Structure 1
Amino acid sequence: MALTPLEHDRRYGELDQVLRAYIGLPADDTEEKPSEALTAYLRHTWHTRPWALAVAESQLREYARNPPGRLRARLGEFYDPPDVGLGDAEILEWLELLADHIRRSVEEGRVPPSAGPVTHWEWQARFPELGQFLGGWFSQDMPDEFDGHDAAVDDYAETTDPRLVARLVGEIRELLALGLGEGEYAVGVAELGMEVGVPAPYAVSGWLALVAARLGPAAGGREGAG
């Protein structure tokens, strides 16, 4: 029988997180240096779930040393890794290399320096509720669904649990605290699913600040966003 969600997470949950960080990026790790994808995974995980690094190292090594055989594959009791551009003969050795990098990061304290998100996975992992907000309410269909940006923000506030709204406000403030350039903010909201431009005359950072003020309890209501 196929893996249950619990069994999948127990055996492969953190392995899956590592490999998903590579989607759309090359698996170009070397013995000397982790790839951009693995560096992004390490940076985010050190910041949010440092205990998960040991789990990732263990699951990567276990899979590399004991890949699913024909019986488990036939029964569906296996994890099918996403395509990272490596052949079957290369991927197991590469998984061992990733495990080695993660182990050295933990044992030697090799923590990537703090920085803004670099990869698509890192943007989504670091700002999940902002991704939900921008991807769900500001897709290319937004002009057909709402009268404008204000109406979309109001709809989000009215249909979303207040605790998630508070989380969104916190994520926006964290993003603005990074002090990125406007071009980087534009890249960021696109990575998070926004498919329409911000309303004139605002820059991306200015509009995000207004959204946070509109939704935040200290604003005394939702007046004044672009």
Structure 2
Amino acid sequence: MPMSPIEHDRRYGELDQVMRAYVGQPADDTEDGLSAALTAYLRHTWHTRPWALGTAEAQLREYARNPPGSLRLRLGEFYPVPDVGLPESGIQDWLLLIADHIRRSVEQGEVPPPSVPITHWEWHARFPELGQFLGGWFSQDMPDEFGTEDDSHGAAVADYAATTDPQIVARLVGELRELLALDLDEADYALAVAELGMEVDPPTPYSPSGWLATVAERLGTPRPDYGPGAAPP
């Protein structure tokens, strides 16, 4: 019988977060070094959910010591570890190695320093609402929905603002300002918006950071409520 969502989270929820950090990244952890994926997971989790590290270590170790058989995987009774490019015979040792690195990080206080995100997973973990905004409103389908005229980007921003709870909009504004505060080169801002799902260019004549700044200003300006029937002054 397949696991219920609460059972999945209780047994494998944080293990799943660790595995997601490895999507598209090599599982090249060694006894003496951490992969880019594990470094990204540790940095983000230390600075946002440090209490989850102990859970990750325990779930990784338990899974490695009691791996499921193929039948139980097919029945959905266990979490299937995604393909990370390692032979099946090496997965258990790799999971234990990751658990050891996480345990050492916690016990010795080895926290990766703040940094610009280094993996696709870390970009989305750090800027989740910005990923929703760029991936949802600025995909390659944007011209079909908002037209190809010069103000199509503005129409998409207006649609986001009109259809999104103001508290979520405020969260996006905070993420935009955090990204701009990183003070990256324009090439790095172009990479950032691409990692976060933007599949169209910023409108002319804006650079990526310039356009992000205009969006933050536009969405960060409160919309006054003049009351029923009242006209703006």
TM-score when scaled to structure 1?
Answer: 0.94
Could you tell me which residue of structure 1 aligns to residue 36 of structure 2?
36
Residues 58-95 of structure 1: per-residue CA shift (max 9 Å, x gap):
00000000111356335421001111011111000000
Q: Which residue of 2 aligns with 1:4?
A: 4
Match of 2:208 in 1: 204
How far apart, CA to CA, are the structure 1 residues paired with 2:215 and 2:51?
34
Which residue in 2 is equivalent to 1:142?
Answer: 142
Q: Which residue does the alignment assign to 1:68?
A: 68
Aligned to 2:184: 180
What's the CA shift string for 1:106-130, capped at 9, x where partnerless?
Answer: 1111111100111000001111110
CA distance in 1, matches of 2:69, 2:143: 51
- Contact 2:14-2:52 within 8 A present in 1 as well: yes
Deviation per residue, 1:161-209 (Å, 9 max, x gap) = 1111111001101111111111111111001100000011111111111
- 2:131 alignment partner in structure 1: 131
Q: Distance in 2 between matches of 1:182 and 1:40?
A: 23
CA distance in 2, matches of 1:185, 1:218: 26
Q: Deviations over 1:120-169 (max 9, x none)?
A: 00001111110000000000111121141000000000011111111100
Q: What letter matches 1:101 in structure 2?
A: H
Match of 1:26 in 2: 26
Query: How far did residue 220 of structure 1 move?
Result: 7.2
Q: Is the 8 A contact 1:18 1:38 kept in 2?
A: yes
CA contact (8 A) 1:213 1:219 kept: no
Contact 1:57 1:100 in 2 (8 A): yes
Ranges in structure 2 where 5+ consecutive residues have no aligned partner:
226-233
Task: Look up the match of 2:109.
Answer: 109
1:67-86 alignment, distance < 5 Å? 67-69=67-69, 72-73=72-73, 75-86=75-86
Of 190, 193, 199, which aligns to 2:194?
Answer: 190
Q: Displacement, 1:219?
A: 8.3
Match of residue 51 from structure 1: 51
Give 5+ residue unaligned stretches, structure 1.
Answer: 222-226
Q: Is the counterpart of residue 17 in structure 1 residue 17 in structure 2?
A: yes
Q: Which amino acid aligns with 1:121?
A: W
| Residue 218 of structure 1, CA deviation | 5.2
Does residue 227 of structure 2 align to residue 213 of structure 1?
A: no
Q: Is the 8 A contact 1:21 1:37 kept in 2?
A: yes
Superposition CA RMSD, Å: 1.5
Identity of aligned residues (%): 73
In the alignment, which residue of structure 2 is the partner of 1:224?
none
